[in-house]
Structure 1
Amino acid sequence: MTSAVHQTEHLLFLVLLQLIIMIGAARLMNTVFRRLGQPGVVGEIVAGLMLGPSLFGHFFPGTSTDLFGKTASPPIVILSQIGLILLMFQIGTDFEFGHLKAARNRLATVSVAIASICVPFALGFAIGEASAPTLAPGTDALTYSLFLGVAVAITAVPVLGRILREYGLNQTEIGVVAISAAAINDVVGWVLLAGVSAYATARFSAVQMSLQLGGLAVFIVVLGVVLRPLCDRLLKRLPVRDGEVPPNLMAIVLCLVFAMAIWTFQLGIFAIFGGFAAGLLFHRHLGFVDAWRRQVGQFVLVFFLPIFFTFTGLRTNILGLTGATDMLWLAIVLAAAILGKIVPVYIGGRLAGYSHHESAILGSLMNTRALMELIALNIGFDLGFIPQNVFTMLVIMAVTTTVMTGPLLKLQLPRAGHPVPVGIEA
């Protein structure tokens, strides 16, 4: 066997072994957490962290390095991002925009989006300014504070989408407002992140930012004026038969999803939003959506998503905090992140005409950050503008705010007249 073939076979062996561990651990923790009354996706997040230096890598560093390497291998990185794009497509197809025809829901979406961005960003920025001399003495204070503001402001659309499905909220008024506001939140967040990253690396340009915003506007117009009617024609020519997506249709849709992911990547708002936008093109075709979920959706959730969680977990070490000062700042970050999301969103919901309990549910949903935030954190960390201890604090904040969502929903949903599902969806 030649050296090249041997290396390929060895890489394949490692990747297959990694996949077995990732998928098995995610499914095990999914089951455990659902039995504990948590959404299964929270268990999958915890499984990803457990496989990293926070647990497995801490107690068995040599074995962890042999298995996963010092950093995630390129095949795992690519698989994780492909899975995220496909998940975002699925979330887009699940949208029920009929509820947004009501003026109250449109007002609520805008109010919640603004509240969920502005207040947390301001709080994060203020914490950055206050903590920079202590936590980041060798870092540019303005850049550090801007990164902190963006990190606190982000809401995790993919995980929020899964939680909405698991609790039967994806086609309710509250669910549609939450995911719509979260989508706006994340698009604005990623644009801010791109601007901050460019500024941090001395590449900021008002012209470049204007081109990016102009490209986004063109993308939205093409989405609605050109691609939407083309997709309608496509489904008429290649209709779903007997509850199955024809192979030719599936191939065309996959190519479209990946092409739109490339487009949004080029716009600087990350490839996953191309997948989400592609899903919006098909959400009105319920037969296609149901068939796609059966044929492709379950595979995405069981195979691809654990890879993404583990990829992020391998870069995260939540055991890195030491000392009373770190713990104090962690408490401040947690308080600002939680109250800075829930309270403003609650007020936005009330101003839009929702009841006390409905507004509280909106606040709890928008507080979900999860591992999507870690993408932003990793960018700041890789650029050297978020120190290791601050990175760890923000990771703990992201996981904590996500773990909170399940118990808060179980408490609040019955009060709003929405039953909690007896069996959380796998």
Structure 2
Amino acid sequence: MHSSVHQMEETLVATLIQLIVIILAARIAGNAAAAVRQPRVVGEIIAGLLLGPSFLTAAFPEASATIFNASAAPSVQILSQIGLVLLMFQIGSDFEFGHLRTQQNRKAAVFVSVASVFAPLCVGFALGRLTAPVLAPGIDPLIYSLFVAIALAITAVPVLGRILREYSLTRSDTGVIAISAAAANDVVGWILLAGITAFASAQLSMANSALQLVGLLILAAGFWYGGRPLVDWLLRRMPISEGQIPAQLVAIVLAAVFAAGIVTQKLGIFTIFGGFMLGLLFHRHREFVETWQRQVGKFILVFFLPIFFTCTGLRTNIFGLDSLSDWSWCAAIFLAAVASKVMPVYLASRLAGLSPEKSATIGVSMNTRGLMELIVLNIGLDLGFIPQDVFTMLVIMAVGTTIMTGPLLKRLLRRSGHPLPTLVEA
């Protein structure tokens, strides 16, 4: 008994050491990113990479082994997954589909949504079929190719929203079209990811995949027809008072988020999809959403999100790409990801009647991947859809496309005469 208690205490201490390093490193890196007009999430992602084998393990192996003690790895991994479920609830609840007021904006958003999903899916699938024999010889080429297609199609709504706010674009035509198209893009992307996950987890059985798809549709119908009235009733019974969500309502929502995750996991789909679906039920209640983000969401962003980034960084070994061939494929993936987003979105915007300047701004905005991409990539690695080296290449692509968005937007906006804000995001 004594030895088991001692072992538990040692594991707890190792976990707490990791959490201290992760939270402080993410905070410092986030501040540094904000100082150079990048979203905080960019600094947090880079901090995660620096704490992994790409820097800390290579430069200071003993310190890395001491801080990231293997005994604490399962605990930290579970914390990161709990944080993701809560974060996806928050992202789902923050989706805003009421931006589109004019017919031209609605038309442009539809055109951009289709182009931003269809073109990267086609390019990603073709790239997957091309690279499967070389980069993923032990993985089913169809599943691998479908996953690469999804990875190229994702746009990061949370990061894009922060960038658009920083550049005062949230109420402009370009910002409204970009964020609405990105929201639609991600909904389609998550549905496709859920379908691929169900298909693969059913061991390529069409019958089982069909049953899982039916189960998902039943769940979605239950959420829509039963969940929405229930949410309305809960918020009427337990209204926000003095800017605070009642503790009972917080407990009920947290339990519902985790229950939704369990249900989607039992359907053979990743648990975070349940949190996302439940969040969509709350997006009409803006007062609840804003209060939740202030009361609960800030803790999720400060505590849970850095843990996820660090877990991703610990799995990303840039030095694992140790040949010219590896880096050539990495460059090809990066260029394919950028070209398949920016160019089709630009052309779709022009077809919808937007000016070249606005079309270019939307094209660059939709290239943002960041957080959502990293979530998708971790799912792919966990489920064995992609090998380690391809995971690293796609992480580099996700970080690179996110970093390039801000400077390119700044240049485009300056050229078009759009006033740039003077304040740096805190």
TM-score bracket for this pair, using the shorter chain length: 0.7 to 0.9
1:296-350 superposed Cα distances (whole Å, 9 cap, x missing partner)? 1211111111111001111001122233322322222111110011112223333
Moved more, 299-308 or 266-275: 266-275
Unaligned segments of structure 2, at least 5 residues? none
| 2-structure distance, mates of 1:385, 1:277 | 23
Counterpart contact for 1:154–1:189, Cα < 8 Å: no
| 2-structure distance, mates of 1:170, 1:210 | 40
Matches within 5 A, 1:40-51: 40-51=40-51
Counterpart contact for 1:153–1:189, Cα < 8 Å: no
1:12-49 superposed Cα distances (whole Å, 9 cap, x missing partner)? 11111111111100110111011111111100000011
1:85-139 superposed Cα distances (whole Å, 9 cap, x missing partner)? 2222222333332224655455444433332233222222323333445445566
Counterpart contact for 2:113–2:182, Cα < 8 Å: no
1:182 aligned partner: 185
Any idea what SS the aligned residue of 1:319 has?
helix
Report the Cα offset of residue 219 of structure 1.
Answer: 2.8
Counterpart contact for 2:106–2:177, Cα < 8 Å: no
| 2-structure distance, mates of 1:378, 1:95 | 23
Cα distance change, pair 288–127 in 1 and its aligned pair in 2 (3 A) = closer
Counterpart contact for 2:88–2:273, Cα < 8 Å: yes
Aligned partner letter, 2:182: I
Cα distance change, pair 213–55 in 1 and its aligned pair in 2 (3 A) = same
Moved more, 366-375 or 11-20: 366-375
| 2-structure distance, mates of 1:84, 1:328 | 32
Report the Cα offset of residue 292 of structure 1.
Answer: 1.6
Cα distance change, pair 148–109 in 1 and its aligned pair in 2 (3 A) = same
Moved more, 308-317 or 232-241: 232-241
1:354-398 superposed Cα distances (whole Å, 9 cap, x missing partner)? 443333333223322235434444455456664443333222112
Matches within 5 A, 1:343-382: 343-378=343-378, 380-381=380-381
Cα distance change, pair 161–77 in 1 and its aligned pair in 2 (3 A) = farther
Aligned partner letter, 1:183: D
CA RMSD of aligned residues (A): 2.9
Matches within 5 A, 1:346-425: 346-378=346-378, 380-381=380-381, 386-413=386-413, 420-425=420-425
1:245-294 superposed Cα distances (whole Å, 9 cap, x missing partner)? 11111111222222222233334442223223323222232322232222
Moved more, 28-37 or 161-170: 161-170
Report the Cα offset of residue 239 of structure 1.
Answer: 1.0
Aligned partner letter, 1:260: A
| 2-structure distance, mates of 1:391, 1:182 | 22
Any idea what SS the aligned residue of 1:203 has?
coil
Aligned partner letter, 1:244: Q
Cα distance change, pair 7–322 in 1 and its aligned pair in 2 (3 A) = same
1:78 aligned partner: 78
Matches within 5 A, 1:11-410: 11-69=11-69, 73-100=73-100, 103-136=103-136, 141-164=141-164, 173-194=176-197, 197-198=200-201, 203-378=203-378, 380-381=380-381, 386-410=386-410
Unaligned segments of structure 1, at least 5 residues? none
Counterpart contact for 1:164–1:175, Cα < 8 Å: no
Counterpart contact for 1:116–1:185, Cα < 8 Å: no
| 1-structure distance, mates of 2:35, 2:156 | 24
TM-score normalized by the length of structure 2: 0.88
Cα distance change, pair 336–104 in 1 and its aligned pair in 2 (3 A) = same
| 1-structure distance, mates of 2:419, 2:192 | 33
Cα distance change, pair 154–354 in 1 and its aligned pair in 2 (3 A) = same
Report the Cα offset of residue 50 of structure 1.
Answer: 0.6
Counterpart contact for 1:333–1:397, Cα < 8 Å: yes
Counterpart contact for 1:312–1:371, Cα < 8 Å: no
Aligned partner letter, 1:27: R
Moved more, 305-314 or 150-159: 150-159
Cα distance change, pair 71–257 in 1 and its aligned pair in 2 (3 A) = same
Moved more, 304-313 or 397-406: 397-406
Counterpart contact for 1:318–1:395, Cα < 8 Å: no
TM-score normalized by the length of structure 1: 0.88
Moved more, 318-327 or 138-147: 138-147
Report the Cα offset of residue 411 of structure 1.
Answer: 3.0
Aligned partner letter, 1:256: A
Moved more, 98-107 or 73-82: 98-107
